[in-house]
Amino acid sequence: MNRRNFMSKAPTMLAASGFLGASAANCSPVQESSIYFIGPRSGYSPHVGALVSMLNYNRETVLRQVRGMSREELDHLHDPRSNSIGALLLHLGATEKFYQANTFENRELNPAERKIWGAASDLGDRGRSEIKGNTLDYYLDMITEVREKTLEEFKRRDDEWLMTVDDGWSSRGALNTYWKWFHVCEHEANHRGQITWLKKRLPS
């Protein structure tokens, strides 16, 4: 069985294994409330719920790193080629916004969205020039609004949607919607590491 066949048959195989038969009903309230429990969540299909729990964990660890930061700390550039912590926070929202458009509506960001998120998506010189002078609440409000839309849209979708292969999106092999949202997870974890590194090197 090649990868394309595997991904097209994945929902059936997972159902046979019992994974898709799992539900939040099998989880205790304590498990559902813990960011350290990866698994189904109430209101979501099993795989989507597991993905939600991963997104929740990553976001909580980001919030811990930036809690209480001042404008000056959020704007600080470690060197002329660095991104600021504020820009990295907004970059998380920009990336998630792109994958919302791609997976929920099968489109690119429109001009109005690019006007809001373009600098955060591009980073580099544009990010250093345009993303500064904002409070922590500004950045957190922006990325929280994006995340709330993600969670609401996930409630309308199921594991079959998550396993759907996008034949035109990658020349390297079968690529599905699950991978796209896994990438949102790993992307946030990667930039959390950068934020942690930059935070430790802020001027005392």
Domain at 160, CATH number:
1.20.120.450
Q: Compute the average pLDDT of residues 133-161.
A: 98
Residues 177, 35: Cα–Cα separation, whole Å = 23
Note the pTM of the prediction, 2 decimals.
0.87
CA 16 – CA 66 distance, rounded (Å): 43
Which two structure tokens, joined as six digits, stand for 54?
A: 């991963």
What is the tally of structural domains in the chain? 1
* pLDDT tens profile 34-76: 999 999 999 999 999 999 999 999 999 999 999 999 999 999 9
Range of the domain at 127: 3-200
- What mean pLDDT value characterizes the chain? 89
Please write the tens of the pLDDT for every residue from 172-196. 889 999 999 999 999 999 999 999 9
19 pLDDT more than 50: no
